[in-house]
Structure 1
Amino acid sequence: MALAYPKIPKSSNLYTDLMEEFRDQGHEVFIVAPAVNDSEVGLINEEGISVIRVKTLPLLNVNPIKKGIANVLLPYQYKKAIKKYFKSDSLDLIIMPTPPISLVDVASWLKKKYHSKLYLILRDIFPQNAVDLGLLKKGGLFYNFFRKKEQLLYDVADEIGCMSQGNIDYVVRHNPNVKKEKLHLLPNWQKEIPQFDGDKIALRKKYNFDDNFVIIFGGNIGLPQKLENILAVAELHQPDDKVLFFIVGQGTEKTKIESLVREKNLKNVVIKNSLPREDYQNIISVADCGLISLHEDFTIPNIPSKSLSYFNAKIPILAAIDENTDYGIHIQDEVKAGAWAPSNKPNLIKEKIDLLRTNPQLCNEMGENGYRYFVNNVTPKHSYEVIDKRIN
């Protein structure tokens, strides 16, 4: 059961990559996911995978109230669709990622009906992340509702795959009743995309990278990313620094960020719409550095999946992040694939940028380190093996 499951091969994400791996390992795979458009509702075969597309309210790039209502209705819509289209007599494994936690009721129903195992891929720790961003009030009606769903999810899940050790420690600390033996590492994963082998100089010229040190950001432009912090860094760089921030994506905060760029007259910030993964990966390959940005108020250890695209492209990572995540330690000290600084301290972020742009050899070493870590540890095959081992 997925919240974001694009149509293969037009687009892809970590869940399409994982389900393709399950398919390739010989499993019969059923997906329940929102319909891409109203004309594609029902049971559809997509690249050898059976996908039940469900008509839902808008779930992405909408305001928090609409998103909340859509998430509350989602389990009823999914359950109705499953009853209509899923005719199998057996179901061995249910995989449920977060977000959203509201699907716990559907997962629990399926588990009881088919005596299945439930594997939870824990990515967002909700509702606390909404509290961190000021979207929910701790102890409020909606918080209490979702908190009970979260606790129920931890209880009914047979196994819980967490992004980092920091995630595991956080869940244990705030949920003393959860069985610790369920919790284990399941890092983010991504299918390897072949390296761009075309004319890199021409591609850089196409996007007006010129002789700039290009720092690329790709993905959601929302509250969790707080790109205002990055604009503050861009303001510190003078034209002679030849530093360009290249932002690719969509999100609820995109219009606001675009307005701020115009207001501040930031000539060293470019914002583009989302691109297919392969096209985006090609652009990354001619950038100099990959950017991670996280809101400084997060209390939960977040591990952004976009790092994997940077690893794949062999470019170093610059992480502007909160001080509660263990992501910075992972990138800088363990993988040795980048550098980090607190996201609300623009001068410190600038120091890291200056370190990278004046040390091309260091950037090359970091890029190679990240790529080796990627292919040896976090492909869909590695994630499949973790899940298979835990449930068998």
Structure 2
Amino acid sequence: MRVIFANRYFYPDQSATSRVVSSVAFGLARRGFDVTVVSSREIHNQRDVVLPAKEIVGGVTIRRLSTTRFGRHSLLGRGVDYLFFHALAFFWMICNISFDDIAVICTDPPLLSVTSGLALRWKNAVMVNWIMDLFPEAAIELGYFARFKKTARLMLVLRDWSLRSRGLCICPTDTMAEYITRRGFRKDHVIVSHHWSDGEEIRPVERAQNSLRRKWGIESAFVVGYSGNFGRAHEFETMLGAAERLKADENIRFLMIGGGHHLSAVTAKARTDDLRNILFRPLQPIENLSESLGAADVHLVSLLPLLEHCVIPSKFYGILAAGRATIFIGDPKGEVARVIQKTGCGLHVDLGDMDGLTRAIRYLRDNPAICRSMGARARQLLTSEYSRDGAIDAWCRIITSIAALDLPSRHVSRGVSP
């Protein structure tokens, strides 16, 4: 029996889905499972890099497919890249998968479970749908199918058909799992396995020992950070409004690290409004993550409320690992807000509440002991609830439970809680 992961990006790529899939794949290989990964030969946002077609790393067999490389700069080019990966992954599975394999199908590219489902049903193999971002719901909520409602309905039908394949659905949040079950799936077919961060890879770094704070000239400031993707699922007007209100306060600086769809608009707004209290930096290499995340005293995480059932802001788990407080901007009933309220590892403000965010930042600046206490709770939460080893243990139980079933008569409804 092999465990086969399919995702467009994999190690050494450092994008969010790649890091999560890579962590599980390498973890299962260390526990003695026979693991194969099907991915592309690309590094996210690095079109000049071409990875080897075949490679064994950390006990994991990697099979990389040579797809088109138009990149993420246009929807048409991205769509072509998606289609080629779909087609090549389908034919790879038809040629290489056996009935006793367990295929873990991720959600990059979108609807990969549909084409993979066709191949896996043909081969009578088990499919575990690992849903990280829910498509087409996320695109529908963002308005991309406003003029193509029939296409959206067809995608929903196809996606739901694929989720009914022999195996399980794994969701990263209770909110997403509840949504899936409301669409008619049995509760024992849908399980929750939270995302996590590697507490060895990302460790708390004290302000005085942080070389990036010195390098960037923010040693003495109270630093409000944002680190990761400036994506369509996130909102930045609230943060920019708070920065505007705080720009006369020389003790407070905003540190924005990363890239993505909204970065150009955010930088343009900062220039237009003369927000010199905002410092922009590119994504940092993996070896600098502890200091990069530790450069901030508190981090901002935002999510559009209409996407709570579709998306999980994975940056939250890195913040926990770094031992920093979080201010969540979004739905007070959302996943991150609930965790913050339950554990006391940060604060919440509503979307658009610029004055509320300003007050929250000043409160933490003026109460450093409380801010540090929230950071300590964050790190403790990571080790107790969202650790890498805990996640690998859960995946071992899931895969072992599926493998223990009588393979010719496995049923989709026989789930297992991690």
Are the aligned partners of 2:29 and 2:59 in contact in 1 as well (CA < 8 Å)?
yes
Partner of 2:192: 185
Change (3 A) 1:38 1:339: closer
Letter in 2 for 1:32: V
Tell me which residue corresponds to 1:308: 317
Residue 55 of structure 1: how far off its partner (Å):
2.4
Return the alpha-carbon distance in structure 1 between the equivalents of residues 204 and 338 of structure 2.
29
1:164 is matched with 173
Counterpart selection for 1:75 from 80, 86, 89: 86
Q: How does 1:1-392 map to 2 (within 5 A)?
A: 1-7=6-12, 13-36=19-42, 39-40=50-51, 42-58=53-69, 61-82=72-93, 86=96, 91-137=100-146, 140-156=149-165, 158-173=167-182, 175=183, 177-192=184-199, 193=201, 195=203, 200=209, 202-240=211-249, 242-298=251-307, 300=309, 302-323=311-332, 325-331=334-340, 333-391=341-399, 392=401
Gaps (5+ residues) in structure 1? none
Structure 1 38/56 Cα, relative in aligned 2: closer, same or farther at 3 Å?
Answer: farther
Amino acid aligned to 1:5: F
- 1:39 positional shift: 4.0
Alpha-carbon distance, 1:166 to partner: 1.7
Mean Cα displacement is larger for which, 233-242 or 19-28? Answer: 233-242
TM-fit CA distance, 1:90: 6.2
Compared CA separation, residues 63 and 323, structure 1 to 2 (3 A):
farther
Q: What SS does the aligned partner of 1:327 have?
A: helix
Distance in 1 between residues matched to 2:71 and 2:334, nearest whole Å: 25
**3-state SS of paired residue (1:219):** strand
Contact kept? 2:113, 2:163, Cα under 8 Å = no
Change (3 A) 1:194 1:103: closer
Question: Offset of 1:306 from its aligned partner?
Answer: 0.9
Instruction: Provide TM-score, normalisation by structure 2.
Output: 0.84
Contact 2:111 2:135 in 1 (8 A): no
By how many angstroms is 1:89 displaced? 5.2
The alpha carbon displacement at 1:288 in A equals: 0.2
Deviation of the 1:314 alpha carbon: 0.8
Query: Alpha-carbon deviation of 1:40?
Result: 3.0
Q: Secondary structure at the match of 2:12?
A: coil
Contact preservation (8 Å) 2:105, 2:128: yes
Deviations along 1:204-245, whole A, 9 cap, x unmatched?
111111322111111111211232332122112132252211
Query: Contact 2:24 / 2:395 at 8 angstroms: preserved in 1?
Result: no
Q: Does the 8 A contact of 2:126 with 2:165 survive in 1? A: no
The match for 2:409 is: none
Unaligned runs of 5+ in 2: 1-5, 43-47, 402-418
Q: Which piece of structure 1 moves more, 380-389 or 36-45?
A: 36-45
246-255 or 225-234: bigger deviation:
225-234
Q: Select between 37-46 and 210-219 the one with higher mean Cα deviation.
A: 37-46
1:262 partner amino acid: R
When residues 301 and 222 of structure 1 are mapped into structure 2, their CA distance, relative to the original with a 3 A threshold, is closer
Contact 2:107 2:133 in 1 (8 A): yes
3-state secondary structure, aligned to 1:148 = helix
Is the contact made by 2:106 and 2:113 (CA closer than 8 Å) also made in structure 1?
Answer: no
1:299–1:324 contact (8 Å) kept in structure 2: no
CA RMSD of aligned residues (A): 2.7
Post-superposition Cα deviations, 1:363-391, rounded to whole Å, max 9, x if no partner, equal: 12211111111112222322232233234
% identical aligned pairs: 17
Partner of 1:51, secondary structure, is strand
Q: CA deviation at 1:256?
A: 2.1
Q: Distance in 1 between matches of 2:301 and 2:330?
A: 7
Q: Find the aligned partners of 1:42 and 1:107 in 2 and give their Cα distance.
A: 20
Q: Which is further off, 99-108 or 313-322?
A: 99-108
Distance (whole Å) between structure 1 residues aligned to residue 35 and residue 277 of structure 2: 46
Task: State the alpha-carbon separation in 1 of the partners of residues 29 and 224 from structure 2.
Answer: 36
- 1:41 to partner: Cα distance: 5.1
How far apart are 1:324 and its partner, in Å? 5.8
